[in-house]
Each structure stands twice: as C-alpha cells, then as structure tokens.
Structure 1
C-alpha cells in the first residue's frame, strides 16, 4: 500500500508542479484564458479527449457493460458525425468572432437575458459537476487507499487541482490534460492486459462467453426508431440520435470546449483538435466497455463472496483484490487522472465566464490587466472551494443522484 500511495502522490504532485511551472506564461489575461492562441492542435485535441473521459465514464462504462451490454457504446459512435459538424460550423464561427466565451453571441441574437441565462446555468452546472466528480472518484478510490477517509480525498484532490488551475491558467489545464490522458490510457491498457492474462483462454474465451450471453448487443436495429423490439431496452437509432444531440451540445455551446478552440494556434489547428479528441474517445470508450465485458467473463469463473452488488464498483473491486502492488497504484492514478482532467476544465472555464460575461459586461470602464487577473484568480479559487464543499456535502446523501433531485 505504501508503494501505491507513493505513486499516487508523485503523480498528483507532478501535475501541481507542471501547473506552477507555467505561472509566468499565464501572467496576463489573454494567456490565462486563451494561452495567447498559441497551442498546437494535437495538445488541444488530447485535452478535449481528457475532458470527455471523466472519472464517471472511466468507472461507469465498464459497469454498464458488466451489468448489461454495449448499448450505451452507441452514444460514442455519434462522435465522428458530431465532430464533422463542429469543424464545419462551430469552430469557424467561434474563430471568426474571436470571442473566448461561448455565450457572447446569444446577447447579440436574442438579448441580454439569453446570455445571462446561459451563463448562470453553466456556472451552477459546473459547481454540481465538480462536486459529483470529486465525490464519485473519492468514493471509488477510498477503498483502494485503505485508511484514507473519503472526505479527506475530496479535499486533497479539490485543493490540488484548484492550485495548478489557478497558477497556470488554461495552458496548465491543457498540458496537464495531455499527461493525464496518457496516464488514463496506460491504465486501460494495463487492465486489459491483466484481464486477458488471468482469464483462461484469453481474448477468444471472452468473445465466446460474451457473445453467448449477448453482452455485445448494441440495441434493436429494427425498422421502428422509437419502439424497441420486445425484450430490448432501447433501439440503436435512439441512442445514436441522443448521442449526436449531446455531442453537438458539447462542441457547440459548452464553454469547456469552445474555449479550447480559442487556444489553438490557427483555425486549422482548432479543427484538428476536435477530430483528435473525437477519434481518440471512440476506441477508448470501446476499451472501457470491453473491460466491463471481460470482468463479467472473469467473475463467471471466479466467484468472489465480496463482489459488489453495484456494477460500477466492480472495476475498483478488481483493482483492489486482483492487481499487484505498484500496478494498482498506476490504476488509481489513472482514475484520478480522469477526474482531474475534467475538474480543471470546469474551474478554468467558469473563471473565464465570470470575467468575460459578468465583470466585463457590467463594468462601464475597462478594467486594468492586474484587476482582470485578480478576478480570474479569485473566480478559480471560488469555484474550486464551492465544488469541493459541495462534494463534501454529497457524502451526507444516500447516492449522488439524490443530490440532483433534492
């Protein structure tokens, strides 16, 4: 356990160090919110990919395929079409306007109320999103790091992500996302390798058992789009359409994505970043669903009395009970990487909106560079504290879903 803790600590401190190391390059407003529009498309694309793979999907996708089948994977198949539409319409639009905010044009088209409504909804959602991610990742990681209370994990991760986001701005967010994307990918590769090694018959046996049990089923392909066949939970086409709508929402009006278009060194690089993020996520999603399927096959032949009843806890249970020390630490770091790459995006994008859509909108006279930086620092700190506090509050509810319906 000491080795695992050491690996996790080294990883988290390295991310904080990277963010602090970029402090000087993010010392003025344009650098803090748009990295002086100088970043390569591949780095921005990996950051988009890292934002897509939150700790929720990193744990939930294997849980979904473990409990049912690959129907939810159809959501990911809509990404290439959504990416094409984004590069054809959204990226040129935002690059042409030159705005960093995704909501400035709403005021021009519909009036002040539309801009305020969108900004307030986004900011409130990000507080809830940060809280949920911190709570769920701590809930999953806490049993893997015996002796660490879930509340301490929420506080530690929340504070450290806030520190490197506050000091390094969007450039720190993007470059740490690049590293975190590599770490979470390494974690998936290791997991697949271990599963295929411990399952007798390896890949062929997984395919045989999973096919017999219908684990690769991706929904009803019947002629009726809205009405699935008897016994089917959903149609392929409904999930595909739902995925397209949500992914277009992400690429088109989500500040976390729109802001990244502004950081790219050119419009061509911004277009490339969208394609990189989308095309990396599709196979990654497939691997996560395969992990859940392989876990199902593994536990069919290895009955475990302590196997969790909840499907989304099976992957962490496997990490804790089956992986050797050291490898387990890498997987814990991968889960944290998936969380941190989403939280840092929420914090920086929220601070950007406070400056661009609230402070600048309300002030009659332009604020000084130093004043704007104080707003950005203060807003990042504020949303980091709000998200962490809300995450702590979630420890008092029965499930994370209860917090949204309360």
Structure 2
C-alpha cells in the first residue's frame, strides 16, 4: 500500500473516533449513556440501524457471495420491509409506553423474572459471539492483505471501537455511525465505478450486466419449495420476515438504536427508512460482486484468492510444483474462456445459448482446478483454510484500484467493523447492567455507580469480543456465519416476544418451558439435519408458541 492509502485509512478512522468522543463526552447518568437522552432524529436512527446491520462482513463477503453464487442472496431481505411495518405499528408503542432501557424488561412485566433473564441470557450468548465474528471477519482478511499479525489487526479494530463506545455510550455509537455509513456506501459506489472503468473499452455497464445475466449471476428470484435451499423467495419472505422481526424487535443491538429516538414518530420513521433502503443497498453491493465476476472474465483471476495460503504452499518445493502445474493449466483455460466471453458479448439469437454452454463447461473445468488447488493447500498444511469467498473483493481492490482508493475501501471495511461492533458492545452492556446486574445483583446503587458499571461492562464485552476474534477459526462464509448464528437463537426469542405481545392466554411458566424446548429442537436440527438455516427462525418461534399453548392448556385443566 502507498503512503497516501495509509494516510486516508487511518485519517478517516481517527476522525470518526475523535468526532464520536468529542460530540458525546460527559454522560452524567445511565439514561444519557444507554439511551442518549432520547435525542436522536429519525435520519440518525435510520442510518444507525443500517450501519449496525451492515458490518464489515457485508462489504467483504457479500460481493464474494455474488461472485460465486449470484445475486440470489438478496432474497434473504425480502421479509424486512414487512417486518418494519409490523414493528412500527405494534411493538414500538409498547416499548415507549413502558419506557424500557432494554427489550427484555418487557418480558418481566408481561411474564416473570426468569423469562426476562432467559431472554437476556440468550441474547448475551448470541450477540457476544457475533461481536467477536464482526471483529474477526475483517481482521483475518486485512491481516492477510496487509501482512500484519492477526492479533494486531484484531486489537486495532477492537481498541478503536472500545475507545468511543466506552466514552460516549449510545449517543457516541449513533453519531459516529452517520459518518461511517456515508464512508461505507460512498466507498462501495466508487469501487463499482472503477470496476466498470477497468473493463475492456467495448464493454460498458449495459454489456457487463448482459454478460452477468448470461452467466447466471443476476438470478434474483428462486420460487422452488426446497427446505434445503438457503435462498428462495419463500425462505426470504417467511424465514427472512421472522429473522427481521426477531433481530429488529428483540435484539438489543437494534432496539437500543430506536429507543434513543426523540419520539415514537422519530423511531418509526427511522425503522421505515431502514425498511425502504436496506434492499437497494444490498442490491448495489451484490451487483458490484457480479461486476467483479465479469471483470475476471477478461482479466485472469488467481486460482485461489487467498494469496497467504498460496505463499505457504510455495515454501514446500514438492507442493509448489504441483500448484504451479494447476496454475498453468488454469491460465491456459482462461485464454479460451476470455475469447468465448468476448464472443458472447457480441452474440445474438441461437448463438448465445451455444456460447453459454461452452463457457459453462469451461467454468466447470476451472472449478475442478480450484478444487485441486485446495487439495494441495490442505496437503501442505491441514490448518490452512480452503474457502476464499471472503477474499474475492478485497483481492480485486488491492490488485486493481489506484492509490488512495485502496485506502478508502479499507477504511470502509474498518468503519463497518467498528460501527456494528460498537452497537453490539453497547447493547451487551445495556442488557448486562439493566437485566442482570441492576435487577438481580445490586439494586440500590447510585446513578454514578451504574454509569461506571455500564462503562466497565462495555469494556468487558469489548475484551471478550477481541479475545473471541483472536481465537476464532475462519468459517465457510462470514456473512452466512453471522446469519446462521442469529437464526439459531432468534426464533426462540421471537416466539417469547410474540407470545407476550399477542397471546395473553400464555403465562410465564408456559412460555419459559416453550423457549427451552424450542431452543433444544433448533440446536438438534442445526447439528443433525440439512434444513436451511432461515427456517430455524420459523421453527423456533412456532415451537415456543405451540408448546406454550399446550402447556398452558393442561395446566389450566
């Protein structure tokens, strides 16, 4: 990286952190620290909600997802706008009426203390692990690209987040996320423009879109009723609806964002702002990934995108020779593919189908060579990761974009990691102090005592997240890993809340038993079935409600 890139990267990060600390210094009590004095406008809430969800994983993994599998991942978000409407109409008024700090306070007023503690506990497990992943995701990739030890990258991201989150609480998180969101989307749009600029002269946006469509990267909708397919219209509308209801309605990292609103109207507008813009934002990021795929049809891609793994293979003379043989064959194959793709960009009529089939056969051969390369990598060192989806976009950035733009895109990734992690740490501290510490351990402390305790809990969870990130292993695909982790717990939590909101017949013991049964069943299906993870949300929610109804019926009799 050039000096200009380093200046842009760290200049952007330090300005954001400094601004957050400056604008929010001096919280006097936990209401100011955890709810930001209820002073947030709707656009701040909306941007903060989007920035909380749009972690670094979004900007690292999503383009790679489109590169490998096409844009069908967009279906994951189809249930989100409907969820925002449901929450705005029925859930927000309840939270505002009760003047809660956390979503789980409601569970005690509706059910009992043990249900509140269970809901808070499930959240702390799920979000505590997720916070580590949101740091680890960019840390491991950036450490590979920049040549830094993983520990250094993890500590840099974690420390920057901890500084302004501990200092300013909710208000610091929301204020910094406005600017982080601008940096994130601005940087991605710039990257998209450069992808188009780097294509051959006779290939513009229209031609690139046409080629991406011909090669199956723009298939947005899948109407198959297949429970094992993760991304279909039905998993998005049903599973996606339930995960969005749970995430935005019961996950404190999101609830805290809109509970800091100046009024119920401001919070509703913030949620609807997110509902309207989230799908277009994800579409843009996925489309950039599809354009990167087109770019690599005219410019040779590496046989394996994680260069650090290749470098280790090259240290073994025997494995190096095998790997170079695969690379040579891959290179020869690319020349034929590029010729066929060029013909496809100009083809018409029946010729299109013939060329598509020919290119598909070449892609199959490329995939076979990639599998051979992965086998060589594993034979070199079985601990090396052979999944490179998360390296696709960052490799394109580092190898093809000009000086300055590289620094900007790295700032995007760091900012995204910081924004989502800050929300998570703030939410973990809120839940720890309000639902566990203040309610069950020490009830008679002063405002200053609870303010200091809130900051210490924020620091504690920050350290936990950094430690988990340091020792985590790279998962199949980071954006899927976070969604899978959420889906394991979200359905159960949502079932508890929906029972509270809409089914007055179900009481505390019934919903508590229902939650335990549902969580056990979901874990069983996760470990011992091939069910697509989005269905876990519907499964867990349904079991909580059905078990609660059955238990309550027999108890009443």
TM-score by length of 2: 0.68
Which of 459, 465, 468 is matched with 1:381 structurally? 459
Task: Note the C-alpha offset of 1:396.
Answer: 9.1
Aligned residue number for residue 193 of structure 1: 193
In the TM superposition, 1:52-71 aligns within 5 A as 52-71=53-72
Which of 388, 395, 399 is matched with 1:321 structurally? 399
The Cα offsets for residues 30-57 of structure 1, whole Å up to 9 and x where unpaired, read as 1100111111111011000101111112
Q: Distance in 2 between matches of 1:239 and 1:274?
A: 19
* Alignment partner of 1:252 is 2:271: no
Q: Distance in 2 between matches of 1:210 and 1:169?
A: 44
Which is worse superposed, 363-372 or 112-121? Answer: 363-372
In the TM superposition, 1:233-252 aligns within 5 A as 235-252=232-249
Whether the 8 Å CA contact 1:144–1:332 is kept in 2: the answer is: no
**Structure 2: stretches of 5+ with no match in the other structure:** 306-369, 371-387, 486-525, 528-557
Which is worse superposed, 350-359 or 304-313? Answer: 304-313
SS at match of 2:268: helix
Whether the 8 Å CA contact 1:3–1:326 is kept in 2: the answer is: yes
In the TM superposition, 1:105-116 aligns within 5 A as 105-116=106-117
Q: Distance in 2 between matches of 1:127 and 1:365?
A: 24
Which of 282, 285, 290 is matched with 2:282 structurally? 285
Q: Distance in 2 between matches of 1:399 and 1:204?
A: 30
Q: Distance in 2 between matches of 1:399 and 1:283?
A: 22
The Cα offsets for residues 290-312 of structure 1, whole Å up to 9 and x where unpaired, read as 01110111101111346516222
Distance 1:234 1:162, change over 3 A: closer
Aligned residue number for residue 16 of structure 1: 17
Task: Note the C-alpha offset of 1:363.
Answer: 4.9
Aligned residue number for residue 368 of structure 1: 446
Task: Note the C-alpha offset of 1:191.
Answer: 0.9
The Cα offsets for residues 199-245 of structure 1, whole Å up to 9 and x where unpaired, read as 231211122111111211134335xx4479xxx87532223221111
Q: Distance in 2 between matches of 1:193 and 1:399?
A: 26
Q: Distance in 2 between matches of 1:34 and 1:291?
A: 36
Whether the 8 Å CA contact 2:429–2:457 is kept in 1: the answer is: yes
Q: Which has the higher Rg, Structure 1 or Structure 2?
A: 2
Aligned residue number for residue 83 of structure 2: 82
The Cα offsets for residues 52-106 of structure 1, whole Å up to 9 and x where unpaired, read as 1111122221111111122210112222111111111121121111101111121
The Cα offsets for residues 324-368 of structure 1, whole Å up to 9 and x where unpaired, read as 111000000001111111000011111111221112212574321
Distance 1:211 1:354, change over 3 A: same
Task: Note the C-alpha offset of 1:112.
Answer: 1.8
Q: Distance in 2 between matches of 1:176 and 1:349?
A: 16
Distance 1:234 1:272, change over 3 A: closer
* Alignment partner of 1:208 is 2:210: yes
**Structure 1: stretches of 5+ with no match in the other structure:** none
SS at match of 1:24: coil
SS at match of 2:290: helix
SS at match of 2:100: coil
Whether the 8 Å CA contact 2:95–2:106 is kept in 1: the answer is: no
Whether the 8 Å CA contact 1:307–1:314 is kept in 2: the answer is: no
Q: Distance in 1 between matches of 2:148 and 2:66?
A: 29
Which is worse superposed, 306-315 or 172-181? Answer: 306-315
Aligned residue number for residue 489 of structure 2: none
Q: Distance in 1 between matches of 2:158 and 2:231?
A: 37
Q: Distance in 2 between matches of 1:234 and 1:352?
A: 34
Which of 338, 341, 352 is matched with 2:430 structurally? 352
Task: Note the C-alpha offset of 1:198.
Answer: 1.1
Whether the 8 Å CA contact 2:76–2:235 is kept in 1: the answer is: no
Which is worse superposed, 206-215 or 339-348? Answer: 206-215
Whether the 8 Å CA contact 1:52–1:281 is kept in 2: the answer is: no
Aligned residue number for residue 300 of structure 2: 303
Q: Distance in 1 between matches of 2:473 and 2:214?
A: 40
Whether the 8 Å CA contact 2:73–2:231 is kept in 1: the answer is: no
Which is worse superposed, 172-181 or 117-126? Answer: 117-126
Q: Distance in 2 between matches of 1:397 and 1:81?
A: 31
Distance 1:9 1:233, change over 3 A: closer
